[in-house]
Chain A
Amino acid sequence: MAIAAIPIQPVKSLSGNQWASRRIIEEAAQTFKIGTPLMLKAADGGLQAWDGTAGAGHLIAGISYEAASNLATTGKGAPTPNTPVLGIGSAITFGNVQNEPLAVNIPHGAPFNDGRVGVVIAAADTIFSATFGNAGVLATPLNTDVGVQYGMTIDTLGNFWYVDKSKTAANAVVLITGLDLRDPAAVGARVLFQFIAADASLLG
């Protein structure tokens, strides 16, 4: 069966401060959506979609708050210290330019791009909300799920991630901290969680 999950979003912080977020260079060829767990590629530090594996080498950087731009190269056009944006300023182009093979047409109003993508850091201070499921089926979160560690799985309908009750122990990456009171108790209701520190790569 398939789950139509809601994008993961940060909802509050324990400290009451704005949750920590950063914009980091985006890895090449990324097509992840908003609300996707991200990880840093060791080779170049680019942000890419998390591969779903818990543990060392697969630590979660945070949750994307922007969709990926499918860049041709990692961090294409990103400014370096003391420079303006060095790329063309958009990942969307059309057609071609006569006799200038490296020039591009940018559709008027196309979103700008600076080679980076935004991520809400998987810090212990930040509480996220995600759909609750169990091995591909929407599940009803219970009070007994609070305080339990679970894993995460990407759904097959919308390609959003949900907290997966079937993944526990070594496959767990989040700690359920509460029920999302915006949702009535029902299958697919959202839960509040924070990332397990040992599974997170950035701390804020």
Chain B
Amino acid sequence: MMVRGAFAQALAPGVHHWFLHFLDLQMRREEYSTVFNVETSQQAFEDEVELAGTGVMPEKPEADSTIYDDMIQGGTRRYVHLTYALGSRASWELIEDDQYGIIKQVPKAHVRSAQFAREIVTWNVLNLGFSTLLTIDGVSLFNTQHPLLGGTAATNTAPGIANVIFATGTYPNRPSPDVDLSFTGVQLMINQFERMPDSQGLPIRVKPHTILIPPELKFIAREILGSPGKPYTADNELNALLGEDLKFQVVHYFTSQSAWFGVADKESHQLKFFERHPIDTDYDDDFDTRSTKVITMQRFSAGATSWIGTWGSNGP
């Protein structure tokens, strides 16, 4: 409950400027929507199912019968929308005596809180991607051994991955051990991206589009990706990463100072945000006290259907 005693400065005119955090410190550009695929939902939850196509087409010897192959239905990933809500309450006397109309602006503060909620919840998909956030294959989003629906046949089919994988029938989107953001680390990421197969072992030829980093890694990222020559050497070699056209994006909601991530363009990965109900504010008065209650609510979910098109290293 907000009452006059806690906002005494608002009761008399004369304050030149109220430094309102929720207005003067503007909420900057939305970050999650630059990476996550944003969709809407009209249901309590959304189910997504994976389906692998057929494998390699083999030669058919003369007069021999054609080999038949089946598509493979994979698992289910369910997005359950959660409700996020926040309320504030102010006394009738405070609202009436507020000389600056500040208290009435609490919905704007709520919106800032709501926007932070959707940012942190969504980015926690990556923050928790090394541990508790699972994808449709049942293992963590960033894993050294994502099982492929095609199993051993898939890794036998996929060209040139013998030195990339850590176990047959699986494919990594995480190094082992984890590596720092570095020139060689980025090269390792690119290699794992370029060799990435689908569930039957057919190369999908996906490329990393953006490196996602915490603020602490901004300077290293700029050196690695922007240096005209190979960084950190005295030789006059070309910086081979320049040709990759990689971008980097600082994400202010990463909890680790050393974890970094790579994502393909939006069409090539399955990181998702479902908007079930947009940010919505309502208010009412309490009859007995005439205090005003303001609540702001929203419903959404976020997650990763598949690991394909993503890559992560939890620093060393």
Contacts and interface: CB of A to CB of B under 8 A. Distances in A.
Task: Note whether A and B form a binding pair.
Answer: yes
Interface of A: 79, 82-90, 97-106, 108, 112-114
Contact of A86 (B47, B133, B137): B133
B117 interface: yes
Contacts of A90: 78
Interface string B292-316: 0000000001110000000000000
B128 A102 contact: no
Given A100-B74, A106-B78, A89 B45 contact: yes
Interface of B: 44-45, 47, 72-80, 82, 117, 120-122, 124-125, 128, 132-134, 136-139, 147-151, 169, 301-303
Given A82-B117, A82-B124, A97-B74, A102 B137 contact: yes
B283 to A, nearest CB: 18
A97 B75 contact: yes
A99 B76 contact: no
B72 A108 contact: no
Contact of A82 (B73, B80, B121): B121
Given A82-B117, A82-B121, A83-B124, A88 B148 contact: no
Contacts of A100: 74-75, 137-138, 147-149
Contacts of B150: 99
B154 to A, nearest CB: 8
A105 B75 contact: yes
A68 to B, nearest CB: 18
25 contacts: A82-B121, A84-B80, A84-B122, A84-B303, A85-B301, A86-B133, A88-B76, A89-B45, A90-B78, A97-B74, A97-B75, A98-B74, A98-B151, A100-B137, A101-B138, A101-B147, A102-B139, A102-B147, A103-B74, A103-B147, A104-B76, A105-B73, A106-B47, A112-B45, A112-B78
Nearest to B146: A100
A88 B78 contact: yes
Nearest to B139: A102
Contacts of A97: 73-75, 137-138, 149
Nearest to B122: A84
A90 B72 CA distance: 22
